[in-house]
Structure 1
């Protein structure tokens, strides 16, 4: 599984301290490396600007800004530097002095506003080096006014933030009385570490703002231990492995190719469980059986395919069926409107894996089934119902699930524009590859079938989630702007 560690602001500061105090890095060196990385990563961007303005704060982020200004000036770019106040860190003071020697005296905010009023529309690329990840507390009136000017003015054609967008705080999203004033960055350069608090950074309805990671020599691997790292990771798409894993081997038989049971589809909603099972089979699953509370399920299934197995039953009848003993994977929930009563407190056999989706996502207070391989796949509304709490950010969801999953010994995959998998051992994985083509009826049922396919091949739950999300990512290539779940499945089948 391709994944990269995500560090909280607190952990990033600890890494900074480790590098300087224990490993002997000079803070000036780290600032210089950060600035050099940002410079090279954006060389094409600098060339588009008539003028580059860098807003520097009083801390380490401001020091990075001064160091970047020095490099830009020496490389011949038209750069100006504005500061909110003199820098407080020794390394920051070093680069501030360097800028004063090369560019002249650093301008203040009064100068900034004067020049802003005279600047032409779309003429300035602005670099936000105001606050960084270490800032906590409320913004001053002066900073609120400055950030609102940056966001609203047509003078600035591009806004680039160093490490994080100044003022951004995911924990305040949706809270009454919170102003949520932050720089509307067009991109963020994360320096030294990938930042947990930046996950899900969005100010436009339809897109996550891009973030780019720049390595500056931080001792990341040294830092990965349970005492000082919270076990959060960023998943990188692995589309080719996702395809190859689904291809059948010559020696496969119907059970080694994957077996699964699907339970769901109340009267009038049978299509959901049919879609899940269809995805499993058409992507190479060897054998499956549908169980449903609907009296019509048999006629619907056999009308579609006489070779399929199906039965009208309760969930408890499913577990006494001879096929139950032979299968590895169970999917419960697509097409259900309520949690099956006979699933409460039920014990999943050790050799099986269970996916709970849609109507099988329990409400708060419902007794969960027991077992070591149980995956719940709620969307945000179902997560709120499941936990009795409201979540306005992926960070808030994590705070709930990092307790919920170990307490209930379950895995939870939150399905949203940013997906979050939290495991019983406390580890968590972020999938930040929004796919608007999946915002249609039936794609949750489709995902359940794809997850069942990977689980039936003996991949563990984290790997199955990673592969399933990577595989679904291929649907972005569809020319159809708003494909149905069946169209998405058809396109995916063609890949294998």
Structure 2
């Protein structure tokens, strides 16, 4: 599995300073390297534009814009540069002066509006170099007007932002601020030097994560990872090949070595949820499993489909004393439960047993969690809010809550959303940014619980199992049906393995 370090704005600034002060890089050199990286990464894009306009602010981000303008001009592109105000950054001043000499002029905001009014529809590629990742203040009236113009105009057929979309701040997202917050609606973002934590979840169209591309410019992102410059946040990239190969049964496997798991859930009328979880586990190669449920109908429902299954109507207390629990490595608890089981509060999880808590087993704030070293909770956003008593409108806000919650309760939490977040009790966290609208259907959470159980039953750690399960489930994007059911998704995954 590929893990890419994610840096906060503060950490990125610290790395920038370290690169200049301790490693001896000149900021002017880094700015030039950033411009060259962006230029070469987008050579096909530049060719599509009749004209390229660069909006440069007064800081380092504006300096990157000037450096890019110089490079584009020297390579023969029709480029115009507009400035909100003179650059205050020393390296930025150098490139601002260079652009004045090479392009002949840098336009003011008055020039920008005048030329914008005369420009033809879809004729301009706009580069946003207004505000860097360090900008945290509210926008001035002038900047808000400029950004709103950029967003609403049909003159600009593409908007590329350097490092971050100007004005974007995930911490301002909320029910009242989401619509009123002004930021550039970038078509893509070029992250320079470090991958940015605050950019995670950048979205302005429903169900659409805007593409971000990372350009290395020499920052020591691996040789200087320490507590001062890095907080152990990682970006997960899908690994579909490993997800499939690991889950396949080996020739020498027997029913226990192939993986064993116990499932408890399915209140009256909700039995399908726990059955789907167990079915995912079994059909993806699990060797042996047993289903427990408070429902009196569970046995007839199971045996109607498969007489070889083990199933029992039981309370959770009886389930936790069943001999099968001592033989298995994985317990999935909660799919289809309509009420949190009191016997779970404070339960001492046996050593070596991995516990997955989903749906009805996600506790409300104030209810004691079970105690153990390998407990994974899998809430969606609403369940996370109920579990912590705090509303969350961004993955960054969820992280701020969970980075305290997980060590305090010695649990792992996988937040399921269009951006998924795994936070571990040791302080490590992993982001999965792969929106999949085909999973927005009833039963896919139950499916994920069963897939997680399959990987965990193979003696994998929670940190290893979660990205593999997400990678496997990501294959559902290939299902031909536009709105597949959970059973159709499972069928497609079974065909892969």
Alignment TM-score, normalising by the size of structure 2 = 0.99
SS at match of 1:160: strand
Distance 2:275 2:151 in 1: 48
Alignment match, 1:487: 488
Distance 1:68 1:191 in 2: 13
2:88 is matched with 88
Contact 2:207 2:435 in 1 (8 A): no
Aligned positions of 1:350-369 closer than 5 A: 350-369=351-370
CA-CA distance at 1:175 after TM superposition: 5.8
Q: CA deviation at 1:134?
A: 1.1
Give the Cα separation in 1 of the matches to 2:350 and 2:227: 31
Is 1:200 the counterpart of 2:201? The answer is yes
> Aligned-pair distance for 1:227?
3.2
1:279 corresponds to: 280
Tell whether the 8 Å contact from 2:207 to 2:418 is kept in structure 1 after alignment: no
Q: How far apart are 1:228 and its partner, in Å?
A: 2.7
- Cα distance in structure 2, aligned partners of 1:158 and 1:320: 62
Q: Name the structure 1 match of 2:479.
A: 478
Structure 2 gap ranges (5+): none
Counterpart for residue 441 of structure 1: 442
C-alpha distance in 1 between matches for 2:463 and 2:215:
27
Do the aligned partners of 2:124 and 2:158 also contact (CA within 8 Å) in 1?
yes
Once residues 136 and 467 of structure 1 are traced to their aligned partners in structure 2, the CA distance between those partners, rounded to angstroms, is 36
| Mapped pair 1:125 → 2:125 | yes
Query: SS in structure 1 opposite 2:365?
Result: coil
Aligned-pair CA distance for 1:105: 1.8
Separation (CA, whole Å) in 2 of partners of 1:175 and 1:313: 42
CA shift at 1:222, angstroms?
A: 2.4
Range 219-228 or range 35-44, more displaced: 219-228
Q: What SS does the corresponding residue of 1:67 show, helix, strand or coil?
A: helix
C-alpha distance in structure 1 between counterparts of 2:191 and 2:333, whole Å? 40
Q: State the 1:25 CA deviation.
A: 0.1
1:161-218 CA-to-partner distances (Å, cap 9, x unmatched) read 0000000000000164673110000000000000000000000012111111111111
Moved over 3 A (4+): 175-179
Alignment of 1:374-385 (within 5 A): 374-385=375-386
Q: In the alignment, which residue of structure 1 is the partner of 2:8?
A: 8
Partner of 2:45: 45
SS of the residue aligned with 1:223?
coil
3-state SS of 2:417 partner = coil
SS in structure 1 of the partner of residue 191 of structure 2: strand
Q: What corresponds to 2:451 in structure 1?
A: 450
Pair 1:108 & 2:103 matched: no
Aligned to 1:56: 56
CA deviation after TM superposition for structure 1 residue 137, in Å: 0.8
Conserved? CA contact 2:15–2:229, under 8 Å: no
Structure 1, unmatched stretches of 5+, are: none
Where do residues 271-310 of structure 1 align in structure 2 (5 Å cutoff)? 271-310=272-311
Cα distance in 1 for partners of 2:324, 2:259 equals 13
| Residue of structure 2 equivalent to 1:147 | 147
Q: How does 1:15-414 map to 2 (within 5 A)?
A: 15-174=15-174, 176=176, 179-414=180-415
CA distance in 2: counterparts of 1:342 and 1:136, whole angstroms = 47
Q: Distance in 2 between matches of 1:310 and 1:126?
A: 62
Cα offsets for 1:100-128 (capped at 9, x unmatched)? 11101211100000000000000000000
Distance in 2, matches of 1:297 and 1:20, equals 66
CA distance in 1, matches of 2:175, 2:444: 30
Aligned CA-pair RMSD: 0.8
Give the SS at the match of 2:226. coil
C-alpha separation in 2, matches of 1:341 and 1:134? 47
Count residues in correspondence.
496
Deviates more, 1:133-142 or 1:449-458: 133-142
Matched, 1:462 2:474: no
Classify the secondary structure of the residue corresponding to 2:459.
coil
Task: Say if 2:331 and 2:356, in contact at 8 Å, map to a contact too.
Answer: yes
Q: Do the aligned partners of residues 177 and 456 (structure 1) sit closer, same or farther apart at CA in structure 2, a change above 3 Å counting?
A: closer
- Relative distance call for 1:247 and 1:177 in structure 2 (3 A) is closer
Higher mean Cα deviation, 196-205 or 170-179? 170-179
TM (norm. structure 1) is 0.99
Residue 250 of structure 1, CA deviation:
1.1
1:253-307, CA deviations, whole angstroms, 9 ceiling, x for partnerless residues? 0000000000000011100000000000000000000000001111111111000
